[in-house]
Amino acid sequence: GACGKGQEAANSPGSTAANAGGKVYIVGTDAAYKPFEYVNDKGEIVGTDIELIKKLAEIGGFRVDIRNIGWDALFQAVQNGEVDMAISAITITDERKKTYDFTQPYFEAHQLIVSRADHPVRSVEDLKNGTFPVGVQNGTTGHEVVKKILGDTNPRIRSFENTPYALKELENGGVGAVVADNAVVDLYVKENPGSKLVTADDPMFEKEYYGIMVKKGNAELLNLLNSALDKAKKQGLLKQIFGAGAVE
Ligand code: ARG
């Protein structure tokens, strides 16, 4: 029951009044995943995912109230109706599809290993053979793949509440590598040249596709989002927003 909040929601941070009168959907995200969703200097929730959902709202004639609730809370929040949908660079997986519904894919990604140039980790083999701790964001596909490589209960796995914490720990020397989504890692390395980080891809990292997640069975919202995505794709908007990686 997160709809029909009208005025109230229009004035709250993150909402857009672009479609006055349209239904308001509450959108949850973990805004610590630049370039997809992050908080800018002004305290606003911005990023390519945010641009996308605002564009879809414009196309579909609805409004969005975007809330930064963090990754760990996100799944539960969709499940219990606290938010209507989640957009957060979420990979569509078979496991998640058991509990949630996803839109058609809008972005193609894969995992990357990032390490310090003075102790480079060049492959999954290097990762497996090392003795250093490996940082991941808790409950992500990066976490899953590291569990697969090192074994579910390997004490070398250190899971963090968000990806920036894991990356900070890599710079501090607390972990020897981090595994996370390619675009996020690539941008971090580029924006922090002083940290001297290097990335490595590996054939075992499979293609992943991001989708917008809704409560299982919410066909009305799913259809609305999917048809807005159809239109956005036809207009070339995904390429415009995401560049390389956009799923047309
Ligand atoms: N794509 C990965 C996953 O779905 C990581 C997403 C993390 N997103 C975020 N906003 N922290 O598991």
pLDDT, tens digit only, all 248 positions of the chain: 344 333 334 434 445 545 566 899 999 999 999 999 999 999 999 999 999 999 999 999 999 999 999 999 999 999 999 999 999 999 999 999 999 999 999 999 999 999 999 999 999 999 999 999 999 999 999 999 999 999 999 999 999 999 999 999 999 999 999 999 999 999 999 999 999 999 999 999 999 999 999 999 999 999 999 999 999 999 999 999 999 999 99
Give me the residue spans of the domains in the chain: 6-108+210-242, 111-200
Options 1.10.3720.10, 3.40.190.10, 1.10.274.30, 3.10.129.10; CATH for 111-200 is 3.40.190.10
Q: Which CATH architecture has domain 6-108+210-242?
A: 3-Layer(aba) Sandwich (3.40)
What pLDDT score was predicted for residue 22? Answer: 87
**Tokens 């609305």 belong to residue:** 224
Neighbours of 216 (CB within 10 A): 15
Q: Which amino acid is located at 19 in the chain?
A: N
Non-local (6+) Cβ contacts of 237 within 8 A are 55
DSSP state of 122: -
Domains 6-108+210-242 and 111-200 share a fold: yes
Ligand 1 centroid–CA 180 distance in Å is 8
What pLDDT score was predicted for residue 11? Answer: 39
Q: Give the atom of ligand 1 at the shortest distance from the alpha carbon of 71.
A: 11
Rounded Cα gap, residues 236 and 214, in angstroms: 24
| pTM beyond 0.90, yes or no | yes
Non-local (6+) Cβ contacts of 145 within 8 A are 111, 179, 204, 205
Ligand 1 centroid–CA 137 distance in Å is 8
Q: Is the CB of 90 under 6 A from ligand 1?
A: yes
What pLDDT score was predicted for residue 96? Answer: 98
Residue 35 preceded by cis peptide, ω within 30:
yes
In 3D, which of 109, 11, 89, 27 has the Cα closest to residue 60? 27
What pLDDT score was predicted for residue 134? Answer: 98
ipTM: 0.98
